[in-house]
Structure 1
Amino acid sequence: MFLKTLVLEDFRQFKDRQILNLTTTNEKNIVLIHGENGAGKTTLLEAFSWCLYGDLALTNPNNILNEYVFFNMGEKESKIARVSLLFSDKKREYIVSRSVKVTNIDNKQYWTKNDITLEMTVNGQKISNPQDTIKKILSKELRKYFFFDGERIDRLARPESKKDIQQGIKYIMGLEVYSNAIRHLKEVKKELNKELTTIMEKESPAEISPVQKKEEILEQIDQLKTAIKNHQEFEVQKEEEKKLISQELEKHKEIENIERERQRIETDLEQANEQIQKIEKKEKSFISKNAYLAISNNLLEKIKKYLDKKREKGELPSGIREQFIHDLLEKGECICGTKLEVGDFHYEHLKKLLENTIKKNIEDNFINISGILENVIGYTDEFKKLLEELHQEKNELIKQRDSLEQQYLEIKDKLKNSDNINIKELGKRLEYVENKIKEIMETLGEKKEKLNRLYKELQEVENEIQKHQTLNEKIALAEERVEIAQNILDELEYEYEFLTREVKNKLSEKVGEVFNSIIRGDYSAEINHNFELKVYKNIDGNKIPVGTSTGENQIASLSFIGSLVYIAKKWDEENQGDIFTGAGVYPIVMDSPFGSLDPEYRDSITKNLQKLSPQIIVMLSKSQWSKEVEQNLAPYINHEYILVYHNPKYKELSNDYKTINIDGQEHPLEVDSEYEYTEIRRIK
């Protein structure tokens, strides 16, 4: 998108028809506009916004028509205020014109939405959906990254602006296509589940409950995953803060030994807790495997006594095997040689013995049980001894841990009670951050545990649905549609997350490159894993997060915007024709970008300003103009304008506000006039 011409017709303080030529070249890509506060720089910035989107963030936004023109209107007379913008994008020429018919009603400007007209031509052809076309070229969400007040742009480097960083990545790369698709798919899946529920209610009323329950569980899982992610991000922030405080404490020699001791105790504490957990795990395993033997010792002794009595009576084992007597009777001869015939005394005696013999398997079991009882009876003492050893080992570790915790508290008290007020505050802050991290981790643990329970419930519900599943074709089709929607949703979410991270990494690298070309000292900037624009100081090879000045924030923010423009251009070149990219070339229009910068930073930025975008429109007040700024920007200026303020109170002004020196010549910033308005005067 390249801006070509901005035309203002009786718009706010710009009377009559006034034109700004905004065209630039590859070598001269800057248009410079001078103007004092109140002359109309902010109005020009808002003119772009009103023309493209109908938004006007100015005082008295209802007063769009020029005041002098309105003052000369009769009652119920109407006049038109209009802003037109000519621009090109991807080999197409666009003209956008937004106008409003203003009527004088009781000496007040009156108009409604019906009085606003938006027209657009593309390559000379009028189109019927101008607002949709504008959205595709430069969406409303992207506007703030390329049309902005330079004195407020430092906000992007603040921690609370990480959502702006994420949105910038999303919209500049066209990734809102993914996020919109994901949102719509979730709605579709919800509707499909409702449809499935209705069908199952008709076919098999018992199915309605598990399907609804599944949808409720999935919603709870989504909410819980989002909450866990937010807590994890917060925990990362606090860990970074803890690291920063610890590093700050290490700088102070008077507490160096105390801090080193705190770190050692902290490490020992972690090791002690790990060892206690191992012992407890070992103790539980030992009890679960062996406790039943110790508990059943009395019962086992009773069984042994019972079996011993049987042995003493000769009942177990019998001494004579059943099979042995069968063999003798079948053979008809005793082992002593006596013949055994049916009916005689010896034969009948052996048959009587056969009736009293014990089955072989019973005798075998008796022998096996007797052997086992000999080994396990009396194990209670050994069990108690081994368990006591584990208890003693655990108690020793607990004593060590308690001692370490007491030492740790004493160390932290020393840090809090330090005579050095900075160290004292750092010690208190460290304790607060550590407690906050502990709270976060406990909350995370609870939420993860709840998430696991929900997954188990989900599995149970799915099993229930599967168990009662009918072969009804409508249900099968509805379930298939839900499954397809879920599969597509999973794929889109993965792709969206992957592309966002990929672009973030490339953008972070470019931000660092641009920042290092401007900033002084051992500083660097990046977009961290949490999508925060961070400035670091390099100390002994380590990147230490630092609190940034307004100037450093502004440079970091400008670096981010310049990097957005660069990445978008590269992305567009690499993905020609890809409907998902949505990115192209973007201009930068900024008002007062140097107001918060010291001279050295201002000099560095103006030397590199032309690198931020292929087209840059800059509006400056006299206080931001200097010989150094002029020397740095002059080679890249294609057009230059002054907003000349026609002021009825001109004679009351100091001469300091009346002129500005440009290229060795004095040019008026304000002139005497009967009425108030602003004139756009071209000087180059």
Structure 2
Amino acid sequence: MVISKIELCNFRIYQGLNVIELTPHKSKNIFIVSGKNGFGKTTFLMSLVWCLYGRQMIDVDDIYEKEIKEQGGYGTYVKSSLNRQAQTKGDTSFHVAVTITGTVIPELPAKEIVIKRSYSTVKGVDTLEILVDGEEKDLIKEELGDSNLTGEEMFIREFIMPIEIAKFFLFDAEKIVNLAENTSVEQRRKLSLAYSEILGIKKYEDIKDEMETLRDRLKQSSANPKDKQLLNTLKAEVENIEVEIESNNKEIGLLKEKRAQLAYEAEQLRDKLVKAGNTVTEEEYQALKKEVKDSSEALELLQNDFRDSFEKIPFAIAGGRLLEVVQQVEDETNYKNALHGQEKVEQRTDQVLTDLLSAERTLKEVVPASVHRFYHDTVKDLIKKHFFAETPDLPADFKLLHDFSSSDTQLLNSFLTDLKQDFRLSFRNLNERRTQLQNQLVAAKKRLAAADSNQEDPMLAADRLKRDDLNLRVVKIDEQIAEYYKSIGKCEDRKDNIEKQISEITKKIKIGEEHRGKYEESEKLIAELQQFVTQFKTDKKKSLEAQILQGLKQLMHKKEFIDRVDVNIYGEDIEIDLYNKAGLKIRKDSLSKGEQQMYATALLRGLVEESQIEFPVFIDLDLQQNTGQIFKQHVEVAHYNSQKGKHTPAMNASVAGCTRSRCTQTSPV
């Protein structure tokens, strides 16, 4: 896949129509888009993110989420993207278009795909258009969309670039250090999902889940009328709960948008009041604002971690019982594997005995029953000995208590691993850190309030009242959002309970003869998929470990500092640990900023190399600050990928040669 052309029209610093050609020239396919600070290089990268994802760009990276929040929500953020000179001339719209060639989409063969997003400041909406060889396709517009995404949005996520991994292909080199700093539970969860997506693990897990759903449907279709009615009722309840959750999430989104706008207006008034008071310098005021902002954001992340921790406390208290459950689940897995093996032994034994009986009919003598029993037992033992020696004998009194699926078992093991990793210490640290941040925030807010103007000017008094009203409205919206989150939590609990009921009823249903063949085939495929996914994870673990370690050896000036990289995959969680020569784990937050950037760069390189995603890599890099090995590594990554025919990288860098109204690139290098 190649991005051959990018078109920016009246988008931020890019006045008028700007067309940037990125078609590779023979073996030269690294482009350097250059210019001084503030001349539109980062805007160039951001334009790609906006074109592909629009309002959902907040899900690409926390950077965009913070920027949009600080500027009063998506509406204000995107409206301000109209070029000021164009606005002065009366223009009311802008757009960004990306031309892609070299796509391989069996369902939609194409020479060229153009993705164009436009925004009208008059209508206040953005429009997404996708042309395939110059035409709109009904497949995209009508068949791909759902209740949350339009067909065009779904097409981009499914066939161009999944939003979860966009940050690995469209990134700011100065902020990539965030990959080494993600410490909150929510950040780790998002990053694990992104790792799973880019490594291709999620794709195969989803196929296995779909096959398990199909198997359950086959079994449910064999239920008696009473169980069928109950299953249909429970499924309808689950659907209603999902609709309620979706509705609540939409309301939360709208409230957050409104909150951002009100908070932005309140901050503007506060700025005005502080400047009128002349009680602090501009530098002191900006420092106070930054302290309040940083403390608030850190506290918000900690609150999310606290919610996760509170859910784990009962399990930590009942640790012994939990270990018993884990052991029982492990025994059940071994039992089911043994049962499957025994079924194969019985099946082969029956086949051999059937053939023996057929041969016996040619004999004139009558074979005694004792001989039949001897042959049955002997054949069974011999088959097990020579073909299924690894299959253990089944315990006579064993009972299935939990009967977890493979995915349930993975989740349990992942949860236990997380619980074992210093839960008590991490919870104590969380509590201490929260208290510290709360005290810092209260003190900073007091100092900020003291900087407010005390003058009795009527205009300032009116502004102060308006600001206080806006802050009060923000607090009320926060309360509403909290209620919606509480409602979502209750809905998810209800949904989990109902799905457990559905699972229990399904397990008790005996498969009907009309579906037995399909059911057994699905069971076989699920077992094969599980075996494949397990091996695939092992292979990806080893290759990613080697890729990251190789990158670190190339980048680190202390060559022996990191001796081993461990990639641990627990269900949906993926953790990456670093170890020194002594076998001691290296905490990433103990690394210097430079070392963190080198680790993040090596990680990014490894992920891109291991991915099956055919997409160019765009890097926003300041060459004046990031010289030497780090830049050399980025270039080596790009060349290596291009030689493999895997990616066509583009580099967005700070060197020279860009005007304010139009950005031009050098020839391919």
TM-score range (shorter-chain normalised) is 0.3 to 0.5
Higher strand proportion: 1
Larger radius of gyration: 1
| TM-score, normalised by the number of residues in structure 2 | 0.47
